[in-house]
Amino acid sequence: MDNTVTWFEVATGDPEGAQRFYGGLFGWTFAAGDGGGPMDYRMIGYAGGGEPAGGLFNTKGEFPDHAVFHVQVADVEETCARTEALGGKVITKVVGDGAGTDFAYLQDTSGSLFGIFHRR
């Protein structure tokens, strides 16, 4: 459903350590993503969850470690424009990634990072 938090991501340069931590703390399970390619992205599952609700992204040290929520939107371009109009910032925007998902990392007016996406 648009305009709701439908995904979360844990990004880290130590994915095995994160798996041990979150698996031990919450009982989460991890499986290789189906996107293929060079990105190491693991789907997070948990007891009672019908589908993965999050992902573990191996940053390989190329990005700061973080945990972030993602909001599903109807239009990434339009949401980026509204973000800037409201005083936020577009940090990264990828439209037409070839895998059927447009996404962006945005910053709110206090500097907090969050993500948006749209599956085509």
pLDDT in tens, 34-91: 655 678 899 998 887 777 789 999 999 988 888 999 999 999 999 999 999 999 999 9
Dihedral Cα 58, 67, 3, 90, nearest 10 deg:
-80
pTM: 0.73
More confident residue, 27 or 51: 27
Q: Is the pLDDT of residue 98 over 80?
A: no
DSSP H helices, 1-120, are 15-26, 76-85
Looking at residue 86, what is its pLDDT? 96
pLDDT over 90, % of the chain:
58
pLDDT confidence of residue 102 = 93
Please report the pLDDT score of residue 56 as a whole number.
93
Q: Is residue 19 predicted with pLDDT exceeding 60? A: yes
Q: What is the pLDDT of residue 10?
A: 93
The chain-wide mean pLDDT, for the chain, equals 89
Q: Where are the beta strands (DSSP E) in the chain?
A: 4-12, 29-32, 41-45, 54-58, 66-72, 89-94, 101-107, 113-119
